[in-house]
Amino acid sequence: PCGVRENAARRLRRRRSAPKQPSMLAHTAANAAHLSSRTPSRAQLTRTTVRSTSVRSTTLTRAMASQDELKKLVGYKSVDDHVRSGMVVGLGTGSTAYFAVERVGQKLASGELKDVICIPTSERTREQAESLNIPLCTLNEKSELDVAIDGADEVDPALALVKGGGGALLREKMVEVMAKKFIVIVDESKLCKGLGPGFPLPVEITPFCHMHTLRTIAKLPALAGCEAVLRMGSSSNNKNDGDNIAVTDNGNYIVDLHFKTPIADPVAAASQLKNTVGVVDHGLFVGMSYQVIVAGKDGIRVAGTDGEAAWW
């Protein structure tokens, strides 16, 4: 009996001293903890997404800032080079012309310019000029201008333009054709080999029987192959951003002509459009540019009078 008790005691001591094996539940919990340590938490995923979005937003913002800076450079240079005290100045419309108007306001406020009176080419430009205390008049008071400054949607090597993306083409042309110098300000993205494919050609038409006029325009020989689209939504862009027909400052409609190939003869196209009953005016500005100031990655270059030949 003593031997039996001793053997039982030894077996009990061995069981107590042996290492414990983890239970199935403990093993599962350990695996879950290991996986959890390797799998990003919801908070970590959110932080990663925010950082990625932030990088993309920063890149886009820098690109936009760069584009705006180019527009500012040419806008300021046009005023610094061509506007003097005592002048009558035409103020264009659009995101590039905005900076020219801003510069005129700055130089009047500082006293560097005096006795300047300006003619705006749209209600938007008029509002901006008034906010800067720029003296204004219309063509009714001043029919002759010393200089007009405006942007363009396309510029070809002959310095012919497509304008009117912002819907102000009629007032722009009425003012700018009366200037001794019409200074065009653009960034290099607006330069093209031929007008048409890069930007739709706007045509301002009367509301009366507008679909008839649209069809008539599309059949003009010099515009063969174009697709005529009635502008909808805001008149200040051609993005079709509304359900109602776009209406200009003059109460008219706009037809945008889309081309797949360049307009072969802009002079003939301009003439045929102007001679179409129902057309008020069009966005071809041919033979009007005195100088084109271009901002690009290599700096500012000037084409036209007192500048170099078109390099594009």
Beta carbons of 164 and 138 less than 8 angstroms apart: no
Q: Which residue has the tokens 């003439």?
A: 271
Which helix (H) or strand (E) segment holds residue 122: the answer is none
| Choice among 172, 204, 227, 308 that is catalytic | 172
308 has catalytic annotation? no
Farthest CA pair distance, the chain: 134
Instruction: Kindly state the tokens that stand for 282.
Output: 């069009």
Q: What is the CA radius of gyration of the chain?
A: 34
Q: Which of 290, 57, 303, 65 is nearest to 190 (CA)?
A: 303
Query: What is the distance between the alpha carbons of residues 270 and 262, in angstroms, rounded to a whole number?
Result: 14
Query: What is the distance between the alpha carbons of residues 247 and 262, in angstroms, rounded to a whole number?
Result: 28
Is residue 311 classed exposed, middle or buried when 0-12, 13-18 and 19+ CB atoms within 10 A define those classes?
exposed
Cβ neighbours of residue 53 under 8 Å, at least 6 residues apart? none
Task: Cite the active site residues.
Answer: 172
